[in-house]
């Protein structure tokens, strides 16, 4: 039986990945996927949420709409909360009233980061900043409104060839500068939007499982380690032409408005045991995105000038 899926926040890096899969018809054949950007569905507007979803009547909603500017959120608490908590709850209320299912994306930033072992789904959440608090508030509202009908997938260090992310920032800085300095005392796991999209579409397709799940591409590395690997892959695939020094620095040497967890590795075992999960390592996923960025650069460079 074909299931209809709505994905919110389709201009974001995760949403764009799903949108591209659908354009290329690479999503599972028994899923009919509609991607909606903020203009088509603003989740902070309950009347619009109800009107749009009443028309589309999806079986499953993947909520990828979010306020994601971690530092800016420190000065925009109400705005972050409106999207990440109240907005998510608006979607959940429609889902509850219509016996649909919700798959919602959350973050490693719900954790304080003083663990030394990977965080399980039931580990105590204690966010350090406004963004993490707004996402945790969203999780709690969803579990309250939809105790049986929501799956919350926490992920970390998300990147892709779309939108803004660490990989693209590093590539830009490594092309522009003579040296880059990168924090070496925050440990986590990178996640490609491709692996997350594959997992979430699998979850939408298979028998619904509720509760919280963790998904990353594995590994426990620092941002510095990640930057070094990004440079290696980019040099290998001709995305960068010159190697520059990458200097490890401490968090104290790179002050930001929001505090970040020092350790936010997520334990994926529950997810791995319940679903058929993407099998590539974080290094292989990174290569896939670097190759795609190199391909796009080639296409742009070979476009006629007039
Ligand atoms: N980025 C990370 O490193 C990271 C890490 C862990 C978890 N996550 C979570 O992963 C999910 C996807 O993140 P992402 O990196 O793809 O985020 P993103 O690139 O910032 O995309 C978020 C999208 O949500 C849209 N949006 C914002 N407010 C909205 C509203 N009121 N109604 C509808 N859409 C709205 C934005 O629209 P505009 O384009 O119009 O602004 C944007 O397209 C989020 O839940 C995020 O919290 C991200």
Residues with a catalytic annotation lie at 131
Q: Give the atom of ligand 1 at the shortest distance from the alpha carbon of 163.
A: 19
Q: Whose CA is nearest to atom 2 of ligand 1?
A: 158
Question: So what's the pLDDT on residue 160?
Answer: 96
Question: So what's the pLDDT on residue 22?
Answer: 82
Q: Give the atom of ligand 1 at the shortest distance from the alpha carbon of 105.
A: 45
C-alpha separations of 1 from 62, 198, 200 in Å: 19, 19, 18
Q: Is the dihedral of CA 172, 175, 180, 182 positive or negative?
A: positive
Question: So what's the pLDDT on residue 305?
Answer: 44
Domains annotated on the chain, with CATH: 3-164+190-219+264-280 (3.40.50.720)
Question: So what's the pLDDT on residue 306?
Answer: 42
Q: Give the atom of ligand 1 at the shortest distance from the alpha carbon of 135.
A: 47
Look at the block and give the residue holding tokens 């930033």. 109
Look at the block and give the residue holding tokens 């995105």. 289
Q: Which residues pair with 192 in a beta bridge?
A: 159
Low-confidence ranges of the chain (pLDDT < 70): 298-306
Q: How far is the CA of 114 from the centre of ligand 1 (A)?
A: 26
Look at the block and give the residue holding tokens 């799940």. 213
If one residue of 13, 45, 61, 65 were mutated to test the ligand 1 pocket, choosing by the most ligand atoms within 8 A of its CB, it would be 65
Question: So what's the pLDDT on residue 207?
Answer: 81
Question: So what's the pLDDT on residue 246?
Answer: 98
- Strand, coil or helix: 106: strand
Ligand 1 neighbours by CB, cut-off 6 Å: 8-9, 11-15, 38, 41-44, 64-68, 83, 87, 105, 107-108, 135, 155-158, 163
Instruction: Kindly give the pairing relationship between strand 221-222 and strand 187-188.
Output: antiparallel
Q: Is the dihedral of CA 102, 199, 268, 112 positive or negative?
A: negative
Q: How far is the CA of 86 from the centre of ligand 1 (A)?
A: 15
- Strand, coil or helix: 180: strand
Q: How far is the CA of 18 from the centre of ligand 1 (A)?
A: 13
Instruction: Return the closest-CA partner of residue 92 out of 103, 108, 76, 82.
Output: 103
If one residue of 6, 9, 194, 266 were mutated to test the ligand 1 pocket, choosing by the most ligand atoms within 8 A of its CB, it would be 9
Q: How far is the CA of 10 from the centre of ligand 1 (A)?
A: 8
Q: How far is the CA of 284 from the centre of ligand 1 (A)?
A: 24
């Amino acid at each position: 039986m074909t299931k209809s899926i709505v994905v919110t926040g389709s201009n974001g890096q995760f949403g764009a990945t799903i949108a591209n899969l659908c354009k290329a018809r690479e999503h599972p054949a028994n899923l009919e996927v509609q991607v909606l950007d903020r203009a088509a569905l603003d989740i902070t507007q309950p009347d619009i949420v109800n009107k749009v979803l009443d028309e589309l009547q999806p079986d499953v909603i993947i909520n990828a709409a979010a306020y994601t500017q971690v530092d800016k959120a420190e000065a925009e608490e109400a705005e972050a909360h409106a999207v990440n908590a109240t907005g998510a709850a608006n979607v959940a209320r429609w889902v509850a009233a219509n016996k649909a299912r919700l798959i919602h994306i959350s973050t490693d930033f719900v954790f304080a980061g003083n663990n030394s072992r990977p965080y399980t789904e039931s580990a105590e959440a204690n966010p350090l900043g406004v963004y993490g608090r707004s996402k945790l508030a969203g999780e709690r509202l969803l579990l309250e409104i939809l105790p049986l009908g929501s799956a919350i997938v926490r992920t970390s260090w998300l990147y892709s060839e779309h939108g803004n992310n660490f990989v693209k920032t590093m590539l830009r800085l490594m092309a522009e500068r003579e040296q880059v300095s990168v924090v070496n005392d925050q440990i986590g796991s990178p996640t490609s939007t491709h692996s997350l999209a594959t997992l979430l579409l699998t979850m939408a397709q298979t028998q619904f499982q509720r509760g919280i799940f963790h998904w990353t591409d594995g590994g426990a590395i620092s941002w510095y380690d990640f930057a070094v690997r990004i440079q290696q892959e980019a040099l290998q695939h001709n995305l960068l032409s010159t190697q520059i020094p990458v200097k490890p620095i401490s968090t104290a040497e790179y002050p930001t408005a929001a505090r970040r967890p020092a350790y936010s590795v997520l334990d994926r075992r529950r997810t791995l045991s319940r679903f058929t999960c993407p099998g590539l390592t974080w290094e292989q996923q990174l290569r896939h995105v670097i190759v795609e960025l190199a391909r796009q650069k080639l296409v742009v460079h070979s476009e006629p000038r007039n």
